Structures are given as C-alpha cells and as structure tokens.
Structure 1
Amino acid sequence: MPNPDVYDGSDNDKLRDAYSLLEAATKYEAVRAVEFAKQVITTVALVVCPLRLYFIASQYNWGDLMKQAACRAVYEMSSAAYRRLLVYRQKCRDLILAHYTKSTPGAPPGTVDVAAPTRAMYWSKKGWLSEPNHYDLWMAMHIQMNENVSTGRSKPRQADAIVPALLELAA
C-alpha cells in the first residue's frame, strides 16, 4: 500500500497533520506511520522552519535530523531572535514562579514558601513538560497569568488553590 499524498494545504497545515500522525503512530507503535510522518515533517520543515524541525527531532531523539536542522537554523535565524525567544521563555516561567507559589506542607493556609524560587533559570537542561498533558497545564497557567497582568490583577496566588481548577480545564 503506498503512502498517502500530502499536497493539500499550507506548509503549516502539512506539519500540523504530520505531527499529529507522528504522535498517534508513536503511541500505537506503528513503525511505518512513524517513518512516513518523519519523512513529511523533514521534507517540509527542513526548508521552511528548521528550528521547528530541530525541536521535533530533539523530542524524538532523531540525532541525524537535529544536526541538519541545527545547521540550517543557525544560519537562517538571527541570534537576536533566538535570544528574544529565550528571554520570553524565562519571563513566562518567572511569572508562574512568582505568582503561583507552592505553600510548605503543614504550613497554615495562606502562607507562602519563601524558599520557593521566584526566577526561572535562563538556561536549563530540562523542560517543564515531562508528561504529555503538562503542556495543557502550563498553557492554562500562562494564559491566566497574561490575563491577570493585562487586567492589573497580578497579586500572588497559592498554587494549591489554582492547580486543581487548571487540571480540570486541561483534562
């Protein structure tokens, strides 16, 4: 059986569809579908968005593609643009750490753990997304923090109070 044609839609649509296929094929261990999705992602992303390909290849431990994508991304993306991305990432994490602090177990309700970090590391070896559903949780927190800041409601809140509600939203 031949592979399906992937000619319709924009490059972004093709990448989104191929990535969705890759996630499902990986989950169900469909080797041929994983190879097909990898081929489509590589063909489209290597030229159009090598940094995106680098991140996908990194997530799936595709060392050969990581090197190719990194080489292209280094020459196609300015260091200023990359630094802005890292600074934005750090600011988002700082907001979460500063406003959604975790209370110490056994402490009276409403107390904040002063030992909790309030600044995210600029460079980190590990992402905050160790489980597939963590993205939904962090995105919900990110959106709520942006709304709070834009409306002037940026006082610290207890993570214990907000996390259960966000987990329900992410489910």
Structure 2
Amino acid sequence: MALFLKISIWGLWVVLILAMVLFLCFGVRVLLRWLFSRTAATREKIDRNRLTRRIRRWIRFLAGLYGKLFKPGSPPGSIQLYSALLRWGRHSGVVADPSETPLEYGRRLKRQFRPLAEEIDTIVALFNRQVYGQRFPHRQQLSDARLGLRRMQRPALWLSRLKLRMMP
C-alpha cells in the first residue's frame, strides 16, 4: 500500500511539472509572437471599456434569465397573446402590414388558415376589447385564447404553414 502511495505521489508530481512546463512554453511562445510582431501603420484606438461592457452584458443576460426562470409571472394578457399571434403569422408567411387593423390582419390570417378561424377570432377580439374598449378579459377568456394559441402551434399545421411560406 505504501509503495502504491509513493508511486501515485511521484506520478502526480510528474504530471504537475509537465503541466507547468507546458504552461511556461505557451507563455514564452505568446511573448515571442508579441515581441516579433509588426506594429500597425496606424494605431487603433484601444477600447478600454470592452471588459466592463462585456460584464454588463452578462449581468443583463443573467438577470433576464433569472427573471424568466424564477420570478412568478402573471399569465399573458391579450396584448401578449396578440403579439404571439403576430409572431406566429410572420413565421407562417403572413406578415402584418403596419397600416392594417388587428381585425383586418385576423381576416387575412383566417383566409389562409380556415381551420383556425375560431382561435384567431378569439385572440383578435380579446385584443380589440382590451386596447380599444378598455375592458379587460376574464381569466376564462384568456385561458381559452391561450388554448387556441397552443392549438395553432400544433405540429399537424406545420405542413400547411410551410406550404404557404414556400408558395405565396
């Protein structure tokens, strides 16, 4: 047992020394490349805030990720559902024109996707009622609209969405 321990310790030392030699060789190589490199004809301005910008970007990313994963959020309202409908339509090849109303866009979507007319109507009606009528939908109406949006995203419709996108 003592012999095995002694061999293990010697092996660990050999690996540690080899790692240090490799690290030293790499450092010497980088130093030599830097010393023998040509300087640019025009000096570029050194960005001194690059590291802090990168750290801030990581902090914003992690804060957003934390907010999405751990903070209890309210279920999406009709505005979020309508924006999801816009995104779904854009991915399906029916892009909303900025000059058309939600009702007109819903009609255009219903013309392209006839089996989903009821779901599209529900989402557009809730959006219009909340934005233009200032009446907020009930929980049951929102859950029906969310269910309709989930029905719209089912894989059975992917082929028709792809066909519409390929042949406008």
Give the TM bin, normalised by the shorter chain.
Answer: under 0.3
Q: Which has the higher helix share?
A: 2
Tell me the TM-score normalized by structure 1: 0.23
Specify the structure having the higher radius of gyration (Cα): 2
